Amino acid sequence: MKKKLENAKGLWLELLPKVLWAYRTMPKACTRETPYSLVYGTDAIILVEVGEPGLRYSHESGLTNDERMRQDLDVVKEQRDMAYIRMVAQKQQAERYYNKKAKIRQLKVGDYVLKAKTQASKDTREGKLGTN
């Protein structure tokens, strides 16, 4: 999303709604669901499909759509739970991968360690030329 907006330079105001729509309707890798479907319980219909009715839109209209929406609302809690489980599983997999590559070092009293200065511990009189 950031790359698309950076390439647009001065046109980001016109591109922002399209980029946000694409973000909300693309399935995410960790949950395998779209953010829109996790919130509303159904897939988003693209505006072009409303103007030029396609097969999906023509079958979704009328009373059958209302009944299907009610059924989807019953299933949405389970869908969210499954997405959460997949997200946690992906995070655990990434953690295992990282921990497999990490070298654990035991520190003892007297070992030298590098300590970085934070903004809170820096001397305000030194300014931007102070030591890190």
Number of helices (H) and strands (E) in the chain: give both, helices first.
6, 0
Q: What is the pTM of this model?
A: 0.47
Nearest Cα to 37, choosing from 21, 24, 22?
Answer: 24
In this prediction, residue 108 carries a pLDDT of: 92
**CB of 52 within 8 A of CB of 42?**
no
Instruction: Using the structure block, give the residue that is written with the tokens 């897939």.
Output: 43
Average pLDDT rounded to a whole number, residues 13-31 = 76
With 60 as the cut, is the pLDDT of residue 64 above it? yes
3-state SS, 65-128, equals HHHHHHHHHHHHHHHHHHHHHHHHHHHHHHHHHHHHHCCCCCCCCCCCCCCCCCCCCCCCCCHH
Average pLDDT of every residue of the chain: 76
Average pLDDT rounded to a whole number, residues 107-112 = 91
Average pLDDT rounded to a whole number, residues 77-84 = 86
Among left, alpha and beta (phi > 0; psi -120 to 50; other), residue 32 is: left
With 90 as the cut, is the pLDDT of residue 29 above it? no
90 or 64, higher pLDDT: 90
Average pLDDT rounded to a whole number, residues 105-110 = 90
Average pLDDT rounded to a whole number, residues 100-113 = 88
Nearest Cα to 40, choosing from 75, 82, 84?
Answer: 75
Collect all residues with Cβ–Cβ distance below 8 Å to 32 and sequence separation of at least 6: 83, 86
Quickly state the pLDDT bin for 15 (edges 50, 70, 90): confident
